[in-house]
Structure 1
């Protein structure tokens, strides 16, 4: 057993895990030399390892996710914080967001010490984002503070989930002790050269999503490429069953000043929620539930005149479990009862790790035992495409309302030929519709979450924890970089 495993301290019943992303786009093996790949690998491996240790030491998911993203905001490799891209006017406008949920419904009303340290205010608000950030060293920390402060604590913040501009930044500096940095601190040579090259493009289109930029200052030579769609994100599950998605970006290279992307837009670039659903039926109980289904259908069919029928066929009282005949129902009420819609019984798609045994929806009082599922999602890519299809929320809706496991829902949006790609239409190949997502799903009874990701473009930087090896792992393509 590794020393890391020996020293783990778990304060709740669930096994912590996490996944990070560092951007997606037209990343190609020929444009990613080993030295540059190693830089990304070293950075992401360091961040995922450090954050996993926080979780293992008892940190809550909000603290851990914000910590991971703040580390990436310090790293010029990524399009966020100090590595943010420029607008067409040569300015920097950053965005960040956080969203929380818990597989335990009581988390939103419990004291912080009960739900793993996340303040109850965070669950009440669920999501928060900041836009047009220009001076805050860590935009993700500003989003975190907006999430956890209520009207009683800071009058100007109220219960708002989305705030922009210098006023919220000033609140961060004066009320919450966040660090202010000059515009020069955010300037990097690579992003500035990318900005200038983009301006020189005659068509001004999205061909600049992946640009050749100088990397001579890092000893890598000229002509290598970095993806400007380098939005970063982290999804964390802590030992208390809390899931948090945190995302930060500088936006698109040479975007219009004032442009708002998917990163601060709830449901587009990020999402987190939990819900109750019928638990899967054990094969040995299938006959029992089938009988209940027939029973409820009969009750629906005969609900108005059932007592007249059972007076002729008394043994139906026993079969259907009916009580003694009540007082007579007036004729007009019985006619109205006939007009009410009947219940629909549908077999939904299989849920997580339970193929072909999804429980049908029974009538009132006959639901099988329920369970809770929770998900957290963070996206990266062409933000306008994410906005058009409400990408992250669409993934969540597929899981919640169709009963699909997250590893089925996410590829339907972010995978090859998914909703994002389809939204690009004949502009596919220009950068539109490109992107990827990372996510975690937890079922309350399983105690371990499932890490999920997919993307429809050349590559997506991601780092996650390999539970079998008990170590961090970094990938950019579908297969290992070394396999190319």
Structure 2
């Protein structure tokens, strides 16, 4: 059995903000990510490779707050975070605050595979990326007019509370192994080197073959405080709950009690899949070996 799911962020979304053209483009980008990850699984590849490839595709699309579509910081830059985890070995890699790295998720994978560390922060993480010949892009590559206007609105006090989260993927491969990956551009107009949950193992990303793989998106501060991804695992591993019930408790009870908005995608070792969110919408999609699957926004 193989299963793959992806998300492109959750948060405050209005149908009126999405033109038919943009909505179609978002669905296509989610489909492209599913294609990239599922191709790995269908040919006997690992869940870890699948989630990396799916997230790379999402980072390369400009519609999501990660990679090319990352939001602007207060000083007009892009600072990106990413992490991934192997449910078989419990090895993990993560990077925080990196600039100009084309695919932060691949840098996180390289940290996991080629170093003795779990989490590297910039600028050392960028030095590590250069040492391993990873791709960098100029500032212009990450510039999108939509994100720039979001920054201007936020700085002028008109931005409201619009948050669009992150990107991520979870997978179960033919060998029964689980993996999760998450990548983000952080928060529009962020200051002081702020980091959210995406590079924090246990908060935004967690995978363990004993139970499940989880990737989160939403108000990062609340997901950190709730240790959200790990909590889903704990409710299953220690309390014996189903994936569905564990996700419901974390997203609709624990996070809501903290007034945290967002969602998560998760898959368990039996191939059950959950895509839970307490926000207006979450860009998401899934696929299994029966050929079933879909992409959705609201």
The structural deviation recorded for 1:34 is 2.6
Give the counterpart of 1:35 among 6, 9, 21.
21
CA–CA distance in structure 2, aligned partners of residues 46 and 452 of structure 1: 20
2:230 aligned partner: 393
Given the alignment of the two structures, is residue 182 of structure 1 paired with residue 138 of structure 2, yes or no?
yes
The structural deviation recorded for 1:24 is 0.4
The structural deviation recorded for 1:258 is 0.8
CA–CA distance in structure 2, aligned partners of residues 271 and 385 of structure 1: 16
1:451 aligned partner: 273
Which digits, 9 at most, give the CA deviation of each residue in 1:61-108, with x for residues without a partner? 111111111111111100001100011121111000001113xxxxxx
Equivalent pair of 2:55/2:181 in contact (CA under 8 Å)? yes
Change (3 A) 1:29 1:467: farther
> Matches of residues 299-448 of structure 1 in structure 2 within 5 Å?
374-415=211-252, 418-424=253-259, 433-443=260-270
Given the alignment of the two structures, is residue 273 of structure 1 paired with residue 108 of structure 2, yes or no?
no
Structure 2 length normalisation: TM-score? 0.95
Equivalent pair of 2:10/2:218 in contact (CA under 8 Å)? yes
CA–CA distance in structure 1, aligned partners of residues 209 and 3 of structure 2: 17
The structural deviation recorded for 1:466 is 5.3
CA–CA distance in structure 2, aligned partners of residues 467 and 173 of structure 1: 38
Matched residue count:
298
Which digits, 9 at most, give the CA deviation of each residue in 1:349-391, with x for residues without a partner? xxxxxxxxxxxxxxxxxxxxxxxxx310000011111111111
Equivalent pair of 2:11/2:280 in contact (CA under 8 Å)? yes
CA–CA distance in structure 2, aligned partners of residues 26 and 466 of structure 1: 29
The list of structure 1 runs, each at least 4 consecutive aligned residues, that deviate by more than 6 angstroms after superposition, is none
Equivalent pair of 2:82/2:198 in contact (CA under 8 Å)? yes
CA–CA distance in structure 1, aligned partners of residues 43 and 68 of structure 2: 29
1:167 aligned partner: 124
Please state whether the residue corresponding to 2:238 is helix, strand or coil.
helix
> Matches of residues 102-251 of structure 1 in structure 2 within 5 Å?
102=88, 123=89, 126-149=91-114, 157=115, 159-174=116-131, 176-201=132-157, 208-210=160-162, 228-251=163-186
Structure 1 length normalisation: TM-score? 0.59
The structural deviation recorded for 1:442 is 0.9
Given the alignment of the two structures, is residue 60 of structure 1 paired with residue 41 of structure 2, yes or no?
no
CA–CA distance in structure 2, aligned partners of residues 69 and 198 of structure 1: 27
CA–CA distance in structure 2, aligned partners of residues 473 and 54 of structure 1: 18
CA–CA distance in structure 1, aligned partners of residues 214 and 87 of structure 2: 11
CA–CA distance in structure 2, aligned partners of residues 471 and 240 of structure 1: 20
Query: Which one has the largest radius of gyration?
Result: 1
Please state whether the residue corresponding to 2:151 is helix, strand or coil.
helix
Please state whether the residue corresponding to 1:209 is helix, strand or coil.
coil
Equivalent pair of 1:88/1:257 in contact (CA under 8 Å)? no
Which digits, 9 at most, give the CA deviation of each residue in 1:179-209, with x for residues without a partner? 122222212111111101100007xxxx633
CA–CA distance in structure 2, aligned partners of residues 396 and 33 of structure 1: 38
The structural deviation recorded for 1:245 is 0.4
Please state whether the residue corresponding to 2:191 is helix, strand or coil.
coil
Equivalent pair of 1:48/1:472 in contact (CA under 8 Å)? no
The structural deviation recorded for 1:171 is 1.8
Task: Mark the runs of 5 or more structure 1 residues left unpaired by the alignment.
Answer: 1-14, 103-122, 150-156, 211-227, 276-373, 425-432, 444-448, 478-484
